[in-house]
Structure 1
Amino acid sequence: MPIETVPEILSQYYLIAFDAAGNERDEPEGKMSKKVLDTLSSKPITDVFLFSHGWLGDIVAARNQYNKWVKAMSKNLADIEQIQKARSEFRPLLIGLHWPSLPWGNEELGNSSESFAIQKVSPVEQLVKEYAKRIANTQTPKQALRTIFLSAMENVAPDTLPPEVCEAYEVLNREARLNAEGEGAAPGRDHESFDPESIFQEVENDPTSYGNLDWGSILAPLRTLSFWKMKDRARQFGESGGFQLLTKLQQATSNDVRFHLMGHSFGCIVVSATLAGLNGCSTLVRPVNSVALVQGALSLWSYCSDIPVAPGRAGYFHSIVADRKVAGCIITTQSENDTAISKIYPLGAGLRQQVAFPIKADGSFEFPKYGGLGTFGARGSGLEIVDMKMLPVNSSYQFEAGKIYNLDSSEFISDKTGGGLGGAHSDIAKPEVAHAIWQAAIGS
């Protein structure tokens, strides 16, 4: 379908799909980006809204999430009226990006909501095939995965990891090529050294799962590797496909056309990498006008000039601030009800002893070495930070250009039902969240 139409409200957006390498996929009628560029050249578009989903999003999930986002944005009539008064010519164009962050999901571009048919192979071989797509798709990692899954089927709850499983995990880690480079490194490498036995014991003591499989802690190291790989993929996609698309869109439009970027979860890595470009060093055609990072699954230190726990090292995406790639404001959301970011994210970055933050004598606390933006907001030196509560829809923000606003959204991003282990992580299609994004766009 060339343009996605949201049921009930009949609002439309373009869905541009990319493969795992960051290459745009072909529709039956050609590339969707070409249709977007044709629209920009033939219609008086004033504002382009570009948004990205996060982890565990296939084509169907992306459609569902974007439909909810667009519906929430479209129902905030007071905000729309305000932006139309401020800019009488206001005419937006909406673009949703899809990057394959759920390798065994439905990646068909048609409207079918059915998953891939399970092939007639053994359960172990099916799992080997699917996890190899995620981590490393060659014979050596496939054999390592086979060892892990067969062992898990024989004994799902061993006291320690069997030696052959530990060795298989070390093989997977080498094949994934996700070197541990610590805080401030590129997403996917911003973690401690891989220690499968320690991860196994940590999850045994405090069970937490962030994958589709729940075979006990024997698979916890595998879920950790998958977590790192998806962060790495989000960054690579943003730096390649995302940056190239934004460049084409800006080149095809005048300086009067405003750009607003929004990401959720790992989509905040996509958005940040799209702005920063390759290795954080690329140059935009011109600054974008506003950025919204909703329940971001990226480091709280990502944007700062100097990381307190790694002195002398800037956050990986600091160039966004240093080079003033956002003309307006950046808003971030935090919710204490989001267990995906408060518990699962730090467990994926390092073990508990690296993420715990001690309480000081005066009752305050230190921010952790590894923590998510969706829990702590943007932190570190070199940033103009404003901490505040997310406001109801009948209140106005006074967002100022150049500042980062950390919005405590616990009152509104709160519904844990249906969120599973992630809690309220995906409870973001709320009028108040949409209101904050509209206000950032208006203020730009």
Structure 2
Amino acid sequence: MSRESVPGHDISYHLVCFDETGNERGRESADVLYDARRDVTDVFFFIHGWNGDVPAARQQYGQWVKTMADCRAEREAAHRLPGGFKSLLVGLHWPSKAWGDEDVRSDEFIKAQAARLGGGAGRVAAVRTIVEAARQHPCRMSTAVKQAYDYLESSVPDLPGEDGMPFDAEQLYRACLEDPALGGILSPLRILTFWKMKRRAKVFGESGAARIAREVAQAAPSARIHLMGHSFGCITATAMANVVPAATLTLMQGAMSLWSFAERLPGEPGSGYFRGVLGRVPGPIIVTTSTHDYAIGKFYPLAARSGRQVDLDEYPKYGGLGSHGVQGTYAHGHNIGSPGELSRGQVHNVDCTSVIRRIDGIAGAHNDICHPELARLLWRAVLAR
């Protein structure tokens, strides 16, 4: 069974796991579809972000669902909606573990990092060169290390990044030296994996995640579907909104371009990749931001453009959604302390700096999203009529 309990509540959610190609690992979706046919009015899909394994996904979803369930007044208001309220909660897990807590000195760490970049003896040897150098001289990039990075960049599929810029390990390393928290000569290895997982989030959103959402929509055609993503999960959720009739879309600290919905890309032809989502979501589209999110504020632009940060007046060309919100199209601006009305069918950038603020290592407050203020924000989108 796919049902997971929620601490302190008599409710549960479904956890459905997928592999890196977007195929379901088990048969948990059968349980989801069974429940979807039982007079469900609202279906919530939750999608985690980068660096999440199954235990991490289970912990995040359990905490988030509990935070939503603790909002008693909002739950009661939902039950007073025309037609009532009966929810179906679904957490989707995709393999996004990019940089775990493994012992960097171990052979398992080396093999795991090489596997995430495609595997094979050549990649194992290249990662070993980088890791062994990091143990001995963490603040110096030798010719051998640079050559190892060049080999990885040339041999890993789906690279370079979506902007087409070449990977420059030495430049990335020098940029990271300006902020020690980004991490010495291992930092380009993080960024190679960042690109890989960013691409995987989009593929998952357009394949396995979209499939289960379509099947649920067919099983419960009158139900409202609410999509909530965190970090790279925002890419997945937005990709899902491109193909399923989502009622609301909530993007928590999105690790995706601030120009994703833009009418025109800055200095380039065409519009944002997800421009077409606007107009497809009849309810509010919520985007949270925080200046305490170092993963999006510091690491994302560095990885997205290989350290070549380009400023365009107020907003950087390669900044992330979780720092700057949606740009390049009309969006309402709010503060979490006084969010105001949420208009249906429109984008709402919500500054959550006062709430998303607990620093946790290199990511800053990136994962600090389980707060009642944020849960009420999602509830308000659900209740908007």
TM-score range, shorter chain: over 0.9
User: In structure 1, what is the equivalent of residue 330 of structure 2?
Assistant: 384
Equivalent residue letter for 1:141? R
In 2, are the aligned partners of 1:386 and 1:404 still within 8 Å (CA)?
Answer: yes
User: Equivalents in 1 of 2:366, 2:34: separation in Å?
Assistant: 36
In 1, are the aligned partners of 2:50 and 2:98 still within 8 Å (CA)?
Answer: no
Structure 2 unpaired stretches of 5+: none
Equivalent residue letter for 1:46? T
User: Equivalents in 1 of 2:138, 2:351: separation in Å?
Assistant: 40
User: In structure 2, what is the equivalent of residue 266 of structure 1?
Assistant: 232
In 2, are the aligned partners of 1:18 and 1:24 still within 8 Å (CA)?
Answer: yes
User: Equivalents in 2 of 1:12, 1:386: separation in Å?
Assistant: 34
User: In structure 2, what is the equivalent of residue 326 of structure 1?
Assistant: 281
The answer on 1:52 being equivalent to 2:9 is no
The 3-state SS of whatever aligns with 2:73 is helix
TM-score by length of 2: 0.94
In 1, are the aligned partners of 2:293 and 2:365 still within 8 Å (CA)?
Answer: yes
CA shift in 2, pair 1:21/1:259, >3 Å:
same
In 1, are the aligned partners of 2:159 and 2:196 still within 8 Å (CA)?
Answer: no
Query: Quick one: percent identity of the two aligned structures?
Result: 40
The answer on 1:402 being equivalent to 2:345 is yes
The 3-state SS of whatever aligns with 1:100 is coil
Deviation at 1:36, TM superposition (A): 0.8
Deviation at 1:379, TM superposition (A): 0.6
User: In structure 2, what is the equivalent of residue 73 of structure 1?
Assistant: 68
Deviations 1:270-312 (A, max 9, x none): 1112223xxxxxx44xx210000011111000111211232x2
User: In structure 1, what is the equivalent of residue 30 of structure 2?
Assistant: 34
User: Equivalents in 2 of 1:267, 1:7: separation in Å?
Assistant: 24
User: Equivalents in 2 of 1:293, 1:341: separation in Å?
Assistant: 13
Deviation at 1:192, TM superposition (A): 3.0
In 1, are the aligned partners of 2:302 and 2:308 still within 8 Å (CA)?
Answer: no
Once the two structures are superposed, the pairs formed by residues 76-115 of structure 1 within 5 Å of their partners are 76-102=71-97
User: Equivalents in 1 of 2:168, 2:218: separation in Å?
Assistant: 46
In 1, are the aligned partners of 2:302 and 2:309 still within 8 Å (CA)?
Answer: no
The 3-state SS of whatever aligns with 1:19 is coil
In 2, are the aligned partners of 1:413 and 1:427 still within 8 Å (CA)?
Answer: yes
Deviation at 1:241, TM superposition (A): 0.7
Deviation at 1:439, TM superposition (A): 0.7
Equivalent residue letter for 1:47? D
The answer on 1:309 being equivalent to 2:267 is yes
User: Equivalents in 2 of 1:98, 1:248: separation in Å?
Assistant: 17
User: In structure 1, what is the equivalent of residue 371 of structure 2?
Assistant: 430
User: Equivalents in 2 of 1:38, 1:353: separation in Å?
Assistant: 50
Equivalent residue letter for 2:131? F
CA shift in 2, pair 1:153/1:16, >3 Å:
same
Deviations 1:28-73 (A, max 9, x none): xxx11011111122x1100000010111111111111111110110
User: In structure 2, what is the equivalent of residue 367 of structure 1?
Assistant: 315
User: In structure 2, what is the equivalent of residue 131 of structure 1?
Assistant: 113
User: In structure 1, what is the equivalent of residue 206 of structure 2?
Assistant: 239
Deviates more, 1:147-156 or 1:17-26: 147-156
User: In structure 2, what is the equivalent of residue 183 of structure 1?
Assistant: none
In 2, are the aligned partners of 1:384 and 1:402 still within 8 Å (CA)?
Answer: no
User: In structure 1, what is the equivalent of residue 254 of structure 2?
Assistant: 296
The 3-state SS of whatever aligns with 1:263 is strand
Equivalent residue letter for 2:109? L
Deviations 1:283-342 (A, max 9, x none): 44xx210000011111000111211232x2211111212xx3212120100111211111
User: Equivalents in 2 of 1:427, 1:135: separation in Å?
Assistant: 28
User: Equivalents in 2 of 1:230, 1:384: separation in Å?
Assistant: 29
User: In structure 2, what is the equivalent of residue 279 of structure 1?
Assistant: none
What is the RMSD computed on CA atoms of the aligned residues?
A: 2.1
User: Equivalents in 2 of 1:263, 1:40: separation in Å?
Assistant: 21
User: Equivalents in 2 of 1:155, 1:308: separation in Å?
Assistant: 40
User: In structure 2, what is the equivalent of residue 143 of structure 1?
Assistant: 125
CA shift in 2, pair 1:309/1:390, >3 Å:
farther
Deviation at 1:351, TM superposition (A): 4.7
In 1, are the aligned partners of 2:168 and 2:306 still within 8 Å (CA)?
Answer: no
Structure 1 unpaired stretches of 5+: 106-114, 181-187, 210-215, 277-282, 359-364
Deviation at 1:104, TM superposition (A): 7.6
Deviation at 1:123, TM superposition (A): 4.1
The 3-state SS of whatever aligns with 2:362 is helix
The answer on 1:61 being equivalent to 2:20 is no
User: In structure 2, what is the equivalent of residue 22 of structure 1?
Assistant: 22
Deviation at 1:371, TM superposition (A): 0.5
2:153 is aligned, of 173, 186, 210, to 173
The 3-state SS of whatever aligns with 1:307 is coil
Deviates more, 1:335-344 or 1:200-209: 200-209
The 3-state SS of whatever aligns with 1:289 is strand
User: Equivalents in 2 of 1:315, 1:333: separation in Å?
Assistant: 19
User: In structure 1, what is the equivalent of residue 144 of structure 2?
Assistant: 164
CA shift in 2, pair 1:423/1:150, >3 Å:
closer
In 1, are the aligned partners of 2:98 and 2:197 still within 8 Å (CA)?
Answer: no
Equivalent residue letter for 2:290? S
